[in-house]
């Protein structure tokens, strides 16, 4: 807001022909014609006999604030189109305070000045609290004298009935009871059109609503992935541009730079793209750098308090701007508004009703209350793909609501109720993750509520407070659990989601936080201990995984939980296998399978069979392993479990390769890979690709092997699997050594050893045994010698994971570019190379390649890392059997992809 069109209220109060003042009113009414751009301080006073309507009619366009209106071209066009449609007489611009409704209305009025022969008029209603005075103000604007108390509305209608006029009424929300009068005026004046700004719609029958959105915001993830010098390109986005414009007004030497661009973007995102909030923040650059401002955004309401003096008082601080809307709500709706602030990332109608209900606020009127908050622009309603509505608060509004909730003394009770509700939600969603046909839907449900789960977990780790209001109504007749138990149960319900939703690292942190707090042995705590071990296993941290799993095994034995014990033993089996301890692995696996059979737990049994079979095969007992893998396959097929079928096929392919039938191993492995891709199991996709790469490498198809390893490496990094990444770096090192690139090989081995020694643990399914001279990897695993090799190895030990992956991919690109025949000219591995095998994302990447985009540009467009793009490209090359971008482009064009 660069200026307030209403000006100083006290200077605008002079008017002729006012009605008799209501008791307590100051006897003045507000008017302002923008048709002639007159300063309201210089309009004729009460003693003037000059007709106001005549003065207003003489002109054309409103007076506009100085400065550009950024990012509103689409909005302005849409409003103009609506207003010029014959059937649209009343258009209401709605939106939260500070979004820029007044500024947009002024611009539209100015743009349409020539479209209304009898003028465009602007009436500022902000100072008025009495709905009955709206008519007085409109009449005053047109210079209409009142003859009788009951005739003013008829006089206004008579004056406007044949006039082609646009009347702009600004800030209608506090006088919304005057809406019927507005409707009657429009009914009696067929050429009159009204453009109204309001935080709440008028709910008139012929009203059209246009919701003014916040300014377009930058994508912080995509921006962070760019080089610093490229981030300044985001300065063209409206929110960032507005911040820079107003910051330069406060501090003339301010510019957007590579160093501050990301912080400026964070500020704009924290302020929800609200122009008023961004302008208030920008004014602070005189005292605070963008980095310091961004760090203070958690307390944005206290920070943003220095608005321009020519703004209305409510717009001089962000808190007062929101308080204006809050004060207009009925007491019951204020109560609901406060309670809904507990949600993070939005909520469903059912959740809002569950949390909004309280002993002092029954649930009966909650639906109407939520609807009222939407109408007042304090909630936003968005239809989801399934047709359900999801409600969100802008973070600036939510912070204000949380302040009111804290002041009310309800915060602890509402947060407890919120945590209890989302615990039951998580426990309801979790079973869907175990079934292939509902797994994606289950992950989507967890994804939608991830911010609420985070908030509930954060609450559960805080110190217990006096319980003001229990959550018994959430749990029905059951006893309400303690804060710690809620946290443990919730974290336990999120473990499988961590794996399937690719949030392993985040869930591990939550588990560790809960386990750091003392609590008695219980089924809930034992599950969290097991989960900490299982997810450490997923990340390839075998020593930590074993410690947790052994602890959970003891706990489950002590509390007599047979199923929990079997699951812990099942995971211990595979950890011991990865640690090259077959005897212990087999013992754990056999006990686990026996318990599952006794319990009749078929859904858990198939994984136990796979783990035990893997341990047996690792010990050379191939026949026994095959029987278990075959049984696993039949169980999974009977259950129609795609993940189980893929696991069995992968294990069978691995077993065939270990037995020497490498050609026969490829088909089941490719079937497993296709199933894994279909259900997006990145963790196991990486391991399957790695195993296919080992087979290709053993057969001398080093280029194929390199492409497979490259894609697997990107996925391993994405899920954080250290063992997988270390293994792949060693395999790429062995390819480099086979091509006489010994320095690169040594550097990659050094990087791999930093991630983890092969002797400490290996991935589940590999053909490479530690220190096995017959395996392909040790070709590059000689002890580092003197000179360049030792320097290269030491350099590798200092690399970050990101640097190591980048170096590995560059090495593979260089090797592939070499014109060198494969060793011994072996037959290439029979991999699918048709377009039908490309995933949706791979097709997107290929189309962007055809358009000539660089990897960096593709990464920004798809909001992924450059490493992920590289991995997709290597997969595309492999599937299409091409060796260069030109070949891929030609193949795509021939296939009709462009």
543-568 average pLDDT score: 97
Same domain, 200 and 225: no
Same domain, 224 and 157: no
Residue 768 lies in a domain: yes
Residue 652 lies in a domain: yes
Confidence of residue 3 (pLDDT cuts 50, 70, 90): very low
Same domain, 863 and 775: no
Backbone angles phi, psi at 771, to 5 degrees: 60, 25
CATH number where 144 lies: 3.40.50.300
With a cut of 60, say whether residue 784 has pLDDT above it: no
Confidence of residue 113 (pLDDT cuts 50, 70, 90): confident
CATH number where 455 lies: 1.25.40.10
Confidence of residue 421 (pLDDT cuts 50, 70, 90): very high
Residue 375 lies in a domain: no
- Summarize pLDDT for 814-860 with one digit per residue, the tens: 888 774 444 443 333 333 345 667 777 788 888 887 776 777 778 77
Same domain, 159 and 187: yes
Q: Higher confidence at residue 438 or residue 265?
A: 265
Same domain, 601 and 687: no
Same domain, 644 and 760: no
- Summarize pLDDT for 693-708 with one digit per residue, the tens: 999 999 989 999 999 9
Least confident stretch, 56-65, 231-240, 281-290, 770-779: 770-779
The domain boundary residue, chosen from 162, 194, 211? 211
Locus of tokens 């060693």: 730
Residue 869 lies in a domain: yes
Residue 177 lies in a domain: yes
Same domain, 625 and 694: no
Same domain, 805 and 843: no
Number of domains in the chain: 5
With a cut of 70, say whether residue 149 has pLDDT above it: no
Indicate left, alpha or beta for 321 from its phi (over 0: left) and psi (-120 to 50: alpha).
Answer: alpha
Q: What is the structure's pLDDT at 2?
A: 28
Same domain, 91 and 201: yes
Same domain, 591 and 673: no
Per-chain mean pLDDT for the chain:
83
Opening angle at CA 585, ends 579 and 590, nearest 5:
165
Query: What does DSSP say about strands 192-197 and 120-124: parallel, antiparallel, or unpaired?
Result: unpaired
Least confident stretch, 184-188, 319-323, 415-419: 319-323
The secondary structure of 193-259 as a DSSP string is EEEEE-SS----TTEEEEEPPPPP---HHHHHTS-HHHHGGGGGSHHHHHHHHHHHHHSTT----TT
Q: Pick the most confident of 174-183, 278-287, 734-743, 887-896.
A: 174-183
Q: What is the structure's pLDDT at 32?
A: 41
Q: Environment class of residue 618 by beta-carbon count within 10 Å: exposed (0-12), middle (13-18) or buried (19+)?
A: buried
Q: What is the structure's pLDDT at 892?
A: 76
Same domain, 576 and 594: yes
Residue 369 lies in a domain: no
Q: Higher confidence at residue 227 or residue 178?
A: 178
The domain boundary residue, chosen from 318, 341, 375? 318
Least confident stretch, 317-326, 375-384, 567-576, 626-635: 317-326
Q: What is the structure's pLDDT at 126?
A: 84
The answer to pTM > 0.85 is no
Within 8 A by CB and 6+ apart from 125, the residues are: 30, 134, 137, 169, 170, 171, 172, 174, 175
Residue 301 lies in a domain: yes
Domain boundaries, position 578: 438-658
Give the residue among 680, 741, 681 at the shortest CA–CA distance from 706: 741
Q: Higher confidence at residue 868 or residue 534?
A: 534
Q: Higher confidence at residue 491 or residue 362?
A: 491
278-283 average pLDDT score: 91
Same domain, 573 and 635: yes
Q: What is the structure's pLDDT at 300?
A: 86
Confidence of residue 122 (pLDDT cuts 50, 70, 90): very high
CATH number where 852 lies: 1.10.10.10
With a cut of 90, say whether residue 477 has pLDDT above it: no
CA 147/CA 151 separation, integer angstroms: 7
The domain boundary residue, chosen from 612, 631, 658? 658
With a cut of 50, say whether residue 519 has pLDDT above it: yes
Q: What is the structure's pLDDT at 425?
A: 97
CA 297/CA 282 separation, integer angstroms: 13
Q: What is the structure's pLDDT at 559?
A: 96
Least confident stretch, 50-64, 351-365, 538-552: 50-64
Q: Higher confidence at residue 42 or residue 559?
A: 559
With a cut of 90, say whether residue 57 has pLDDT above it: no
Residue 358 lies in a domain: no
Q: What is the structure's pLDDT at 217?
A: 92
């Amino acid at each position: 807001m660069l200026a307030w069109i209403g000006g100083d209220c006290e200077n605008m109060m002079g008017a002729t022909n006012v009605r008799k003042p209501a008791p307590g009113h100051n006897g003045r009414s507000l008017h302002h014609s923008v048709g002639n751009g007159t300063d309201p301080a210089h309009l004729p006073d009460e003693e003037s006999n000059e007709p106001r309507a005549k003065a207003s009619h003489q002109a054309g366009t409103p007076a506009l604030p100085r400065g550009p209106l950024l990012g509103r071209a689409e909005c302005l066009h849409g409003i103009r189109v609506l207003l010029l449609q014959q059937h649209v007489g009343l258009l209401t611009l709605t939106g939260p305070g500070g979004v820029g409704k007044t500024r947009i209305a002024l611009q539209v009025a100015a743009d349409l000045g020539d479209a209304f022969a009898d003028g465009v008029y602007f009436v500022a209603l902000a100072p008025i609290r009495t709905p009955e005075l709206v008519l007085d103000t409109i009449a005053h604007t047109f210079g209409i004298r009142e003859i009788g108390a009951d005739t003013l509305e008829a006089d206004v209608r008579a004056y406007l009935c044949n006039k082609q006029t646009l009347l702009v009424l600004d800030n209608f929300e506090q006088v919304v009871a005057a809406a019927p009068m507005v409707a009657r005026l429009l009914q009696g004046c067929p050429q009159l059109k009204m453009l109204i700004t309001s935080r709440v719609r008028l709910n008139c029958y012929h009203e059209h609503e246009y919701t003014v959105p916040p300014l377009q915001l930058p994508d912080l993830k995509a921006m962070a992935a760019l080089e610093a010098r490229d981030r300044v390109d985001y300065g063209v986005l409206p929110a960032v541009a507005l911040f820079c414009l107003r910051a330069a007004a406060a501090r003339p030497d301010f510019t957007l730079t590579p160093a501050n661009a990301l912080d400026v973007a964070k500020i704009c995102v924290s302020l929800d793209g609200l122009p008023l909030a961004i302008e208030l923040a920008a004014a602070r650059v005189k005292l605070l750098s963008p980095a310091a401002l961004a760090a203070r955004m958690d307390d944005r309401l206290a920070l943003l308090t220095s608005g321009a003096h020519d703004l209305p008082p409510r717009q001089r601080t962000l808190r007062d701007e929101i308080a204006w809307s809050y004060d207009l709500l009925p007491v019951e709706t204020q109560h609901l508004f406060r309670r809904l602030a507990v949600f993070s990332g939005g909520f469903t109608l059912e959740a809002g009703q569950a949390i909004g209900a309280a002993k002092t606020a029954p649930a009966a009127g909650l639906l109407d209350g939520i609807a009222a908050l939407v109408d007042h622009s304090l909630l936003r309603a968005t239809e989801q793909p399934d047709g359900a509505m999801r409600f969100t608060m802008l973070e600036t509004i939510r912070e204000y609501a949380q302040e009111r909730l804290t002041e009310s003394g309800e915060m602890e009770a509402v947060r407890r109720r919120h945590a209890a509700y989302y615990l039951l939600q998580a426990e309801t969603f979790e079973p869907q993750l175990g079934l292939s046909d509902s797994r994606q839907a289950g992950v989507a449900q967890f994804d939608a509520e991830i911010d609420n789960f985070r908030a509930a977990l954060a609450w559960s780790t805080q110190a217990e407070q006096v319980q003001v209001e229990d959550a018994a109504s959430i749990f029905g007749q059951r006893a309400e659990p303690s804060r710690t138990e809620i946290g443990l149960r919730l974290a336990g319900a999120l473990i499988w989601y961590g794996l399937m939703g690719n949030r392993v690292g985040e869930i591990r942190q939550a588990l560790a936080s809960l386990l750091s707090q003392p609590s008695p042995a219980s089924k809930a705590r034992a599950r969290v201990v097991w989960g900490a071990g299982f997810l450490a296993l997923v990340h390839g941290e075998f020593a930590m995984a074993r410690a947790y799993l052994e602890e959970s095994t003891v706990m489950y034995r002590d509390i007599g939980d047979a199923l929990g014990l079997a699951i812990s033993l099942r995971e211990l089996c595979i950890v011991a296998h990865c640690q090259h301890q077959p005897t212990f692995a087999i013992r754990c696996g056999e006990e686990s399978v026996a318990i599952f059979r006794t319990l009749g737990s078929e859904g858990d049994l198939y994984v136990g069979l796979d783990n035990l079979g893997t341990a047996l095969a690792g010990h050379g007992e191939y026949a026994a392993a095959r029987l278990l893998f075959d049984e696993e396959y039949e169980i999974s097929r009977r259950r129609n479990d795609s993940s189980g079928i893929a696991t069995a096929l992968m294990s069978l392919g691995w077993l065939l390769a270990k037995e020497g039938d490498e050609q026969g191993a490829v088909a089941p492995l490719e079937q497993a890979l296709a199933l894994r891709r279909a259900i997006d199991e990145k963790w196991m996709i990486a391991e399957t690709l790695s195993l296919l790469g080992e087979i290709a490498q053993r057969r001398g198809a080093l280029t194929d092997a390199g492409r497979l390893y490259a894609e697997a490496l990107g996925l391993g990094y994405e899920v954080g699997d250290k063992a997988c990444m270390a293994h792949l770096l060693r395999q790429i090192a062995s390819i480099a050594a086979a091509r006489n690139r010994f320095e690169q090989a040594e550097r990659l081995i050094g990087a791999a050893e930093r991630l983890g020694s092969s002797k400490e643990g290996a991935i589940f399914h590999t053909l490479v045994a530690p220190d096995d001279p017959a395996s392909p990897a040790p070709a590059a695993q000689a002890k580092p010698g003197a000179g360049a090799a030792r320097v290269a190895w030491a350099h590798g030990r200092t690399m970050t994971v990101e640097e190591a992956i980048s170096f590995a991919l560059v090495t593979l690109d260089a090797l592939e570019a070499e014109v060198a025949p494969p060793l011994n000219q072996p037959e290439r591995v029979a991999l699918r190379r048709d377009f039908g095998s490309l995933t949706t994302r791979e097709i997107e990447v290929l189309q962007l390649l055809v358009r000539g985009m660089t990897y960096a540009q593709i990464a920004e467009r798809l909001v992924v890392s450059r490493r992920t793009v590289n991995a997709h490209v290597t997969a595309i090359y492999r599937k299409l059997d091409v060796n260069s971008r030109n070949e891929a482009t030609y193949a795509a064009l021939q296939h009709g992809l462009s």
